[in-house]
Amino acid sequence: MDKVLARGSGSAAARSRPRTAVVAMVAGAAVVAATIAVATSASAGTTLGASAAEQGRYFGTAVAVNKLSDSTYVGILNREFNMVTAENEMKWDATEPSRNQFNYTNGDRLVAHAQANGMRVRGHALLWHQQQPGWTGSLSGSALREAMLNHVTQVATHYRGKIYSWDVVNEAFDDGNNGARRNSNLQQTGGDWIEAAFRAARAADPGAKLCYNDYNTDNWSWAKTQGVYNMVRDFKSRGVPIDCVGFQSHFNSGSPYPSNYRTTLQNFAALGVDVQITELDIEGSGSSQATSYGNVTRDCLAVARCNGITVWGIRDTDSWRASGTPLLFDGSGNKKQAYTAVLNALNEGGTPPPTTAPPTSTPPTSAPPTSTPPTSEPPTTPP
Ligand code: G3I
């Protein structure tokens, strides 16, 4: 925020004012900036969340709500992170265990914890081919389509105003070399199911950023990456309400951090969407793991529209891939080398985010006014 103020003092308007006024303004701005810096970041440079905030980004983690009673876990969570994602608690099987009967107990617990501790929430995930409740298995075609859109509407409405960004659709692309959609029960309801879901989510919560989220879309040269890119480009050209793309970024020896990762983030951002690193974990240890974590962090900071980074768990023992020790804290809650690499990269800084928030509403489809501009000359007297 202090950087925005500093840039503003160099504007054309400021330059045209008398020198004494400029000096006073700059001094005033410096006081305001210093006040804001102190007020917002007592821990600037020393925790992941505060250091990310200094760069206009967030730093988040997946949270398993049943671990909120673990004092070591909660201590790290509250100290280091300013964004949370429910690891499982907002998925379809958790929120709608019986058709049209919703259970928000655990999701609400996470939202309450976030709100009480100044964190924001990424919603994960409205529609996915996995972790569906059993009752969807007996549905197909228009019946499944109706149930699916009702789910999106109900859950996004329940959490309206409380979610920073929703993973509206998760993992809808095939893992092969065809760049095609995954053949899921959702896909079988019609090729337009993804855009229908985004429209339903926008109607239910106009304030949330709406993301498409996937894995193995990090390497720019991979067919799956290209498939998702083509879908997002098509959505943007047709006014489908998509705001962001989530890159899960689960890295291991079979799917390592790719050297063109920054290119991927930049190319998606150039389509006019934000990009977010949504489920980061990197298997390994020591300096090689730390180097990859530092690279991912610098890549996000280099892309103005990269909003932030979320790691998929806190301690290695909390991970879905615990044996790969892929996270920033060891099983005892100690900071790893990878933690220091991320913190240092955050503190090095990067490209500031855009100063104006991009519009979240769909642009108007009506033609612009066609009236001719006035023909008289503008007044020539100085203001
Ligand atoms: O809650 C039940 C519990 O009652 C039961 O006793 C136990 C027995 O296995 O299972 C528990 O559910 C497990 C659940 O995690 C909560 O721990 C499920 O079996 C297990 O399948 C589930 O795994 C989750 C996985 O998604 C499901 O596919 C992982 O925790 C979660 O980290 C993982 O997250 C996904 C993202 O949503 C999407 N991207 C990939 C990522 C990693 O797979």
Give residue 31's pLDDT: 39
348-366, pLDDT tens digit by residue?
A: 999 999 986 554 444 444 4
Give residue 168's pLDDT: 99
Of 24-33, 40-49, 162-171, the range with the highest mean pLDDT is: 162-171
Mean pLDDT of 53-63: 98
DSSP string, 234-293: HHHHHT----EEEE--EEBTTBPPPTTHHHHHHHHHTTT-EEEEEEEEE---HHHHHHHH
Residue 96 has pLDDT above 70, yes or no: yes
Which residue, by CA, sits nearest to atom 35 of ligand 1?
A: 87
- 3-state secondary structure string, 15-65? HCCCHHHHHHHHHHHHHHHHHHHHHHCCCCCCCHHHHHHHCCCEEEEEECH
How far apart, in whole angstroms, are the C-alpha atoms of residue 52 and residue 60?
10
Does the bond joining 270 to the residue before it have cis omega, within 30 degrees of 0? no
- Reported as type and span, the H/E element at residue 126 is strand 120-128
Which residue, by CA, sits nearest to atom 11 of ligand 1?
A: 88
CB 172 within 8 A of CB 216: no
Residue of 87, 213, 224 with the most ligand 1 atoms within 8 Å of its CB, for mutation: 87
Which residue, by CA, sits nearest to atom 17 of ligand 1?
A: 88
Residue 172 has pLDDT above 90, yes or no: yes
Residue of 320, 321, 327 with the most ligand 1 atoms within 8 Å of its CB, for mutation: 320
381 against 270, higher pLDDT: 270
358 against 232, higher pLDDT: 232
Contacts 24+ apart (CB under 8 A), 362-368: 362/202, 362/239, 362/241, 363/239, 365/239
Residue of 61, 88, 276 with the most ligand 1 atoms within 8 Å of its CB, for mutation: 88
Single-letter amino acid, residue 144: L
Residue 373 has pLDDT above 70, yes or no: no
Give residue 84's pLDDT: 99
Mean pLDDT of 204-233: 98
This prediction's pTM: 0.85
Across the chain, mean pLDDT equals 87
Q: Is there a catalytic annotation at residue 96?
A: no
Give residue 356's pLDDT: 65
How far apart, in whole angstroms, are the C-alpha atoms of residue 62 and residue 77?
10
Among residues 54, 171, 195, 283, the one annotated as catalytic is 171
Mean pLDDT of 140-162: 98
Which residue, by CA, sits nearest to atom 32 of ligand 1?
A: 320
Residue 160 Cα to ligand 1 middle (Å): 25
Give residue 27's pLDDT: 41
Residue 89 Cα to ligand 1 middle (Å): 10
**Geometric angle at alpha carbon 47, from 42 and 50, rounded to 5°:** 55
297-350, pLDDT tens digit by residue?
A: 999 999 999 999 999 999 999 999 999 999 999 999 999 999 999 999 999 999
How far apart, in whole angstroms, are the C-alpha atoms of residue 319 and residue 333?
13
Residue 214 Cα to ligand 1 middle (Å): 17
Give residue 43's pLDDT: 78
Give residue 137's pLDDT: 98
Residue 130 Cα to ligand 1 middle (Å): 10
Q: Counting atoms of ligand 1 from 1, which one is nearest the CA of 91? A: 37
Residue 158 has pLDDT above 80, yes or no: yes
The residues lining ligand 1, judged by C-beta closer than 6 Å to any ligand atom, are 87-88, 130-131, 170, 248, 279, 320
Residue 156 has pLDDT above 80, yes or no: yes
Which residue, by CA, sits nearest to atom 27 of ligand 1?
A: 131
Among residues 279, 283, 348, 377, the one annotated as catalytic is 279
Residue (of 121, 280, 127, 291) closest to 195 by Cα position:
127
CB 44 within 8 A of CB 37: yes
Give residue 75's pLDDT: 98
Residue 320 Cα to ligand 1 middle (Å): 8
Residue 124 Cα to ligand 1 middle (Å): 13
Give residue 357's pLDDT: 55
Give residue 16's pLDDT: 32
Q: Is there a catalytic annotation at residue 54?
A: no
Q: Counting atoms of ligand 1 from 1, which one is nearest the CA of 319? A: 32
Confidence label for 128 from pLDDT (cuts 50, 70 and 90) = very high
